[in-house]
Amino acid sequence: MIPLFVAAGYRVIVPDFIGFGRSDKLAADSDYSFQKHIDWLDLFLTSLNVKNATGFFFDWGGYFGLPVAVRRADIFSRLVLVNTTLPRAAGIVNAVWVAGWRRYILKGPVFPISAMVDKMTDTTMSNAELAALDAPYPDETYKAGPRSFPQLIPATALNPATKPNRAVWRQLAAWTKPTLTLVSERLAKRGFNPKEFHRQIPGCHGQAHQVIADAGFFIVEDCPQRLAEETLRFILAKNN
């Protein structure tokens, strides 16, 4: 996606979450929290003096990016929400799903970075792509960041992220800046219903939202060109 945005004349900033990619790998699960990830992202963007950017929030990008957006209104002039949500312990069905996902992801001695991504895409990933996903993690001691993520999702009101996330959700009712949702059809029917954002965020009104068929959870792997093209159309739209 990055070359398409650059070719259109835009600067592209793609931070790794701490514990992922080329970032530092903090050694213990306890080194990570939902709030720390928000604060790290906030610090990163403010340190670079990012202003009036288009926030492209995929998956955990929305979890951490939406709190930053309502905290720092000058950073983002518009948002693109892609297979994401704002987790806030929304009932027993959600709690059961989160608990089941935790058991599935954490059940083995090896945290399956590339295997997890490969299973949750509709395209066939090459051996080189799979190797690239695993490359930042020479062994399991480097994976505290990824392993901590399942525990950070608010499943009940007892999770420390639940209360602040609910506060952010209420604040989104005043978010009038243009906001576009791009969601895979399968995910729209399974817990990532974009209409939830459409009802809550005034900036969603009148936008060319897309529900995309033939794409898995990792939609950025399945149809990156379409996502980039839809985002560029959104940036250039007259009502933005």
The rounded distance, in Å, linking the Cα atoms of 102 and 147 is: 9
Domains along the chain?
2-236 (3.40.50.1820)
**What pLDDT is recorded for position 100?**
75
How many residues in the chain? Answer: 240
pLDDT one digit per residue (tens) for the chain, 240 residues: 999 999 999 999 999 999 999 999 999 989 999 999 999 999 999 999 999 999 999 999 999 999 999 999 999 999 999 999 999 887 776 777 777 777 777 778 888 899 999 999 999 999 999 999 999 999 999 999 999 998 898 888 889 999 999 999 999 999 999 999 999 999 998 878 999 999 999 999 999 999 999 999 999 999 999 999 999 999 999 656
**What pLDDT is recorded for position 226?**
97
**What pLDDT is recorded for position 28?**
92
The rounded distance, in Å, linking the Cα atoms of 91 and 70 is: 24
| E strand or H helix that includes residue 132 | helix 127-134
**What pLDDT is recorded for position 240?**
63
The answer to whether the CB of 192 falls within 8 A of the CB of 220 is no
**What pLDDT is recorded for position 117?**
94
Question: pTM of the entire structure?
Answer: 0.94
**What pLDDT is recorded for position 191?**
76
| Nearest alpha carbon to residue 63 among 152, 151, 188, 144 | 152
**What pLDDT is recorded for position 102?**
77
Q: How far is CA 215 from the centre of its chain?
A: 16
Burial group, residue 143, by CB count within 10 angstroms (0-12, 13-18, 19+): buried
2 three-state secondary structure: helix
| Nearest alpha carbon to residue 83 among 181, 2, 12 | 181
**What pLDDT is recorded for position 94?**
72
The 3-class secondary structure across 33-72, one letter per residue, is CHHHHHHHHHHHHHHCCCCCEEEEEECHHHHHHHHHHHHC
Burial group, residue 89, by CB count within 10 angstroms (0-12, 13-18, 19+): buried
The rounded distance, in Å, linking the Cα atoms of 141 and 153 is: 22
| Nearest alpha carbon to residue 20 among 125, 116, 142, 161 | 142
DSSP assignment letter at 15: P
Beta strands in 83-225 (DSSP E): 179-184, 210-212
